[in-house]
Structure 1
Amino acid sequence: MYRILVVDDEKDERKVIRFLLKKFGFELEIVEAANGKEAFEALVRNPFDILLTDVKMPFVDGMELAMQVRKRYADMEIIFFSGYDDFSFVKKALTLRADNYILKPVKPEEFKQTMTEVMENIRKHKEEQEKREVNQLFIKKHILYRLLNQTPIDVLQNEYPYLSFDFLNDYNRMILVHSDTTFLDRLFEEENECFYELIRKATLDSKYDVINLNPFQIALLFKDNSRRLITYQQAAMQIQQKIQETYGINCVLSVSDHMNSPVQLAQTYSELESYLNDRFFYSDVFIYPIDTPLKDSKEYKEDECLLEKIEKSLQQADTVELEKKITIIIQKYDKRTKTSQGYLRFLFARLLQLFFQAMPEYSKDSMNRYIELMYSYKHFSDIKQTLLEVQRKVIKRLEEEKNSPKHVIGVVKQYIIENIEKDLGLDMLAEEVYLTPGYLSDKFKQETGSGINKYIKQVRMNKAEELLSNTNMKVNNISKTIGYKNDSYFIRIFREHFGVSPKKYRDMKSA
């Protein structure tokens, strides 16, 4: 319900206004004040939607009151009413953005029309404000999503120059919630209030935002509360238990340390994901990281770095670098008696897991059998032998893949996507993969059913569509970002592809 403050030094006049408001069915909470001073005190205590004030009053007149109100409440609706049919009052009222000026004695129909217009103005203003708030909330969550997915903060600040990024400083902790099913994604589609209530109760009303990262993960970003009664680890345990009890789903949660700066968001998310790698070995543990002294050791961190490099070599099919890194890690622990057997089994099981990820044709059961062998061996030489055996299979597969047309085309497609702003051409791409232009052109068409130039155009149009829909970048900047130096040419190509100009496309999307 909206609130109106009726200000007049004559009680009978205030009664008339109250009577008319009730008569015409305006649903308003009505508060009265006998003068401007009393009215301003009421406004300071509580906000109002409408100020209906007499012009001539003792202490503080209506004009002065309106001036003070405008400084404090820029969007409040103001209506003057007075027995003075004086143009100077009307003129001054207009400079204060008064919504109307009613003469005494008040004419009921005129009053009804004025109030109807004012109420409609308030409704429209509230709707616009809600839309702005929803849009701003959407943009902020979109920014958080992109930050977590490694978009540099300065890039986002350039894309949203009108938005203050100070809100990022509010976040001090992160909990990553992971499910092996698309359960979390379904919750977002259903806008499940029960789920949000569940988190709120588990965290004792902590302030947080939820970011839907993908069908299997959400991130809970907390605004630290120094008066917390439970730790974030305890909160995570309660969330996990509540999800299990309510939905029958076993989620795993990863809890961050305190974050001091927005630039830590992406790094923290990566760390939380890496903690979840351990769940493969702990089927009955749902909260990570597992608190062990080894986690903080220099040796553990060195091994984690080496595993990351091995994973990168596998992804890039760099068999030479892969063999080097495997040799380093084997030599590091060969005949090293001071390292615990448990950690060695864990480390080399992680390596096997990376190998099997590079061989999707192998089933999870096959991988599990090898992992079980790792934990059953009594000698390190057996672990080493099994690892090298699997490594040989992986390298053979990677070499075959590297020499296949499919792999080459994959490399070319990835290069196009990552370098779309460049002046791409067949000769340049052929040089990147050490093939002749003609051979590459033929193989690309065989594998994809499309010519290279057509594929480049499609990638550029997809990127243009994304930037027009999700950013406020100018059309000429988008043109350069996707590799078109000539804006007119880009607009023509875009119109041919989508049937409308870039500007029209953006307008349609935002409508």
Structure 2
Amino acid sequence: MYRILIVDDEKVEREVIHFLLKKFGFELEIMEAANGKEALEKLESCPADILLTDVQMPFVDGMELATKVREKYMGMEIIFFSGHDDFAFVKKALTLRADNYILKPIKPEEFEQTMKKVMDNIRQHKEEQEKREANQEFIKKHILYRLLNQTPIDILQHEYPYLSFDFLNDYKRMILIHSDTAFLENLSEEGTFYLYEQINKAALHARYELIHLNPSQIVLLFKDNSNGLIAYRQVAAQIQQNIHTAYGINCVLSVSKHIENPNHIVQTYSELEDYLKDRFFYADVFIYPIDTPLTDNKEFKEDEYLLREIEKSLQQADTLKLEKEISIIIEKYDKNAKTSQVYLRFLFARLLQLLFQTMPEHSKESMDRYIELIYSYTHFSDIKHTLLEIQRKVIKKLEEDKNSPMHPIEAVKQYVADNIEKDLSLDMLAEKVYLTSGYLSDKFKQETGSGINKYIKQVRMDKADELLSYTNMKVNDISKAVGYSNASYFIRIFREHFGVSPKRYREMKQG
């Protein structure tokens, strides 16, 4: 309900206005003041939407009141009424952007028309303000979306020079929700709303921004950091449980450390993705990173670094570097009786899993058998022998790949371009080029600088851009042509990517 302040030193005049407002059914909260001074005091504690004031009053007259109101309350509607039909008053009233000047005695019909006009103005201004605020919120969310997709902050600042980027400092912690299936793509609008509702219930009224990053991932950026890591892990656990109860899907979630500044947002997202690589060893664990005392161990950190280097060598098919790094890790633990056998088996099982990523011709069951052997051997020499056997096979495969006429990454890109209308999953693409999904994902990102899901989405958006710009195809048909069976989902993803709806984008392109 809107609020009106009636200011007149004559009580009977105020009562007439009050009566007319009720008579014509204007739903307004009504305040009254006998002069300008009293009116300013009331506005301090209770701002109004409409000021209806007499011109001639003691202490502070109507003109002075309107001047002070306009300085402090820019959006307030002002109506003057006076018994003095004086052009000077009217002229000054217009300079103060008064909406009308009503003469006493007030004519009911004139009063009704004036109030209708003022009420329409207020509603229009409110709607415009809400649209501006909603648009600004959308732009901020769009910036977060692009930031997480590795668009540098300086480029975004150049594109949106009118917007302050200070809002990025509000984000203190991040949770990544990941599903191995693209289940988000198949949800209806109602289903998506229900999903967000389940997340919100678990978040316990925390202030956060939800970014629908791709069909498999949602990122939550939290503005509060009063709670510690344990509290956010509990939130993540509740989100996982709510999603499983609602959809029967076991999503995995990773929880970030404190985000120091906006420049760390992209790095934090990458860390969250890296945490999820440990899922291979923990089939029944859904919240990452795993709490383990080894993470504070210097030896463990050195081995983690070495495993990452081995992974890079595999991605780059650098067989000489790979042999050297594996030799280092074997020599480090050969005849080292001080190392925990549990940790040693865990470490070499992880190494074995990295090596198997390059050999998709071997089934997961085959890899599992080798890992079972790692855990069953009684001597380190047996682990060493098995590892070197797999290493020889991997090096042979890498050398063959380097001499192959069709590089696997280029083959994937070509397949995506030729089959953009189809359901393109990571597992399916990996099968096409005879690689494991994990290995293809890492190698694709290493060679292109982009995750495979992000790449597919970019190709789809580029194709949608082309079809909207140069054809008259319906949006529903374009949605299917670029691989989205759900048109509502396509429109939402398109708007997040380009910042406008497909319809508006076509209007802008085709002029």
For the aligned pair, the TM-score class normalised by the smaller chain equals 0.7 to 0.9
Q: Deviations over 1:315-347 (max 9, x none)?
A: 333333333333333333333322222222222
Q: Find the aligned partners of 2:83 and 2:360 in 1 and give their Cα distance.
A: 86
3-state SS in 2 of match to 1:405: coil
Q: Which amino acid aligns with 1:91?
A: K
Check conservation: 1:7, 1:53, Cα contact below 8 A: yes
Q: What's the secondary structure of 2:291's corresponding residue?
A: coil
User: So what's the TM-score if we normalise by structure 2?
Assistant: 0.74
Task: Please tell me whether the aligned partners of residues 5 and 48 of structure 2 are also in contact (alpha carbons under 8 angstroms).
Answer: yes
Once residues 413 and 181 of structure 2 are traced to their aligned partners in structure 1, the CA distance between those partners, rounded to angstroms, is 30
Which has the higher mean CA deviation after the structures are superposed, 315-324 or 48-57?
Answer: 315-324
Distance 1:320-1:87 versus aligned 2 partners, 3 A rule: farther
Deviation at residue 271 of structure 1 after TM alignment: 1.8
- Superposition deviation, residue 411 in structure 1: 9.7
Distance 1:38 1:290, change over 3 A: same
- What residue is the counterpart of 1:18 in the other structure? 18
Find out whether 1:131 has 2:131 as its counterpart. yes
Structure 1 Cα separation of the partners of residues 244 and 24 of structure 2: 54
Would the aligned equivalents of 2:172 and 2:225 in 1 still touch at CA under 8 Å? no
| Shift of residue 188, structure 1, vs aligned partner | 8.4
Report the secondary structure of 1:304's partner residue: helix
How far does residue 254 in structure 1 lie from its aligned partner after superposition?
A: 1.7
- Counterparts of 2:7 and 2:256, CA distance in 1: 55
Q: Tell me the equivalent position of 1:156.
A: 156
Deviation per CA, 1:61-113, whole angstroms, max 9, x where unpaired? 22222222222222222222222222222222222222222222223333333
Deviation for aligned residue 1:295: 1.1
The residue aligned with 1:387 is: 387
What CA distance in whole angstroms lies between the structure 1 residues aligned with 2:510 and 2:29? Answer: 36
Contact 2:229 2:257 survives alignment (8 Å): no
1:35 alignment partner in structure 2: 35
1-structure distance, mates of 2:8, 2:101: 14
Q: Distance in 2 between matches of 1:205 and 1:224?
A: 10
How far apart are 1:296 and its partner, in Å? 2.5
Matches within 5 A, 1:1-400: 1-184=1-184, 189-190=189-190, 192-226=192-226, 231-400=231-400
- Is the 8 Å Cα contact of residues 148 and 266 (structure 2) preserved in structure 1? yes
- What's the offset of the Cα at 1:252? 2.4
Which secondary structure does the structure 1 equivalent of 2:3 belong to?
strand
SS of 2:32 mapped into structure 1: strand
Determine what percentage of the aligned residue pairs are the same residue.
Answer: 75
Please give the secondary structure, in 2, of the residue aligned with 1:345. Answer: helix
Would the aligned equivalents of 1:184 and 1:218 in 2 still touch at CA under 8 Å? Answer: no
Paired with 1:63 and 1:48, the residues of 2 have a C-alpha distance of 17
Any conservation in 2 of the 1:206–1:225 contact (CA below 8 Å)? no
Partner in structure 1 of residue 481 of structure 2: none
User: Compared with structure 1, are the counterparts of its residues 247 and 137 closer, same or farther at alpha carbon in structure 2 (3 Å cutoff)?
Assistant: same
Structure 1: which 5+ runs fail to align? 415-457, 470-503
Of the two structures, which has the highest relative contact order with CA contacts closer than 8 Å and spacing of 6 or more? 2
Deviations 1:457-479 (CA, angstroms, capped at 9, x unpaired): x99x949969x99xxxxxxxxxx
Tell me: CA distance 1:255–1:393, structure 2 relative to 1, closer, same or farther (3 Å): same
Matched length:
433
Structure 1 residue matching 2:5: 3-state secondary structure: strand
1:507 to partner: Cα distance: 5.9
The answer for unaligned runs of 5 or more in structure 2 is 415-457, 470-503
Q: 1:228 to 1:268 in 2, by over 3 A?
A: closer
Distance in 2 separating the partners of 1:188 and 1:168: 30
Deviation at 1:370, TM superposition (A): 3.1
- One-letter code aligned to 1:125: H
Q: Over the residues paired in the alignment, what is the CA RMSD in angstroms?
A: 3.5
Q: C-alpha separation between the residues in 1 aligned to 2:169 and 2:463?
A: 30
TM-score (norm 1): 0.74
CA–CA separation in structure 2 for the residues paired with 1:367 and 1:134:
52
Kindly state the Cα deviation for residue 209 of structure 1 after the two structures are TM-superposed.
1.5
Q: Is the partner of 2:42 in helix, strand or coil?
A: helix
Query: 2: distance between equivalents of 1:47 and 1:123?
Result: 17
Residues 221 and 364 (structure 1 numbering): CA distance in 2 closer, same or farther, change over 3 Å? Answer: same
Residues 1:310 and 1:225: Cα distance change in structure 2 (over 3 Å): closer
User: Displacement of 1:164 after TM fit?
Assistant: 1.0
Q: Secondary structure at the match of 1:85?
A: coil
